[in-house]
Structure 1
Amino acid sequence: MSISFNIMRVGRTYKLINYGEVFIFETLSITPNDDYLIKIVDTLEQCYLSELYQFGKGKDFMIDEI
């Protein structure tokens, strides 16, 4: 079962699945417009959470805390 964006916390690790792609990321900060600055664990790349689902949410869209 997926969690809601508003219960995500800074410093925790999450797993996002969307259109068959799996991302494991750590939240670094929350922006004033309620987006999250994240660090993808596999590549250490920093980006915003909204960039991971900017082209839509698939039927398999799910976020879970690890």
Structure 2
Amino acid sequence: MPIALDNLRVGRIYLLVNQGERRKLEVVSRISGENFKVKDLDTLEYYTLEELLRWGRGKDYDLEELR
């Protein structure tokens, strides 16, 4: 079961799986409500969580914290 977006914490690392893509993300800052600035740890690019979920959540959607 995926973590709710309002439970994400700045500085923590999460694995996001959505529509066949797997991304290891570090939460950099909270922008508003359920929108966060995140750093993709594989490509070192910065995104907002809204950009990554813009096209919806697929059947494989999962969000979990990595330790």
* Paired position in structure 2 for 1:58: 58
Superposition pairs of residues 1-66 of structure 1, within 5 angstroms = 1-66=1-66
TM-score (norm 1): 0.93
Q: How many aligned positions are there?
A: 66
TM-score (norm 2): 0.92
Percentage of identical aligned residues: 39
Show structure 1 runs of 4+ deviating over 2 A.
Answer: none
Q: Which runs of 5+ in 1 are unaligned?
A: none
Q: Which runs of 5+ in 2 are unaligned?
A: none
Tell me the distance in 2 between the aligned counterparts of 1:31 and 1:63: 19
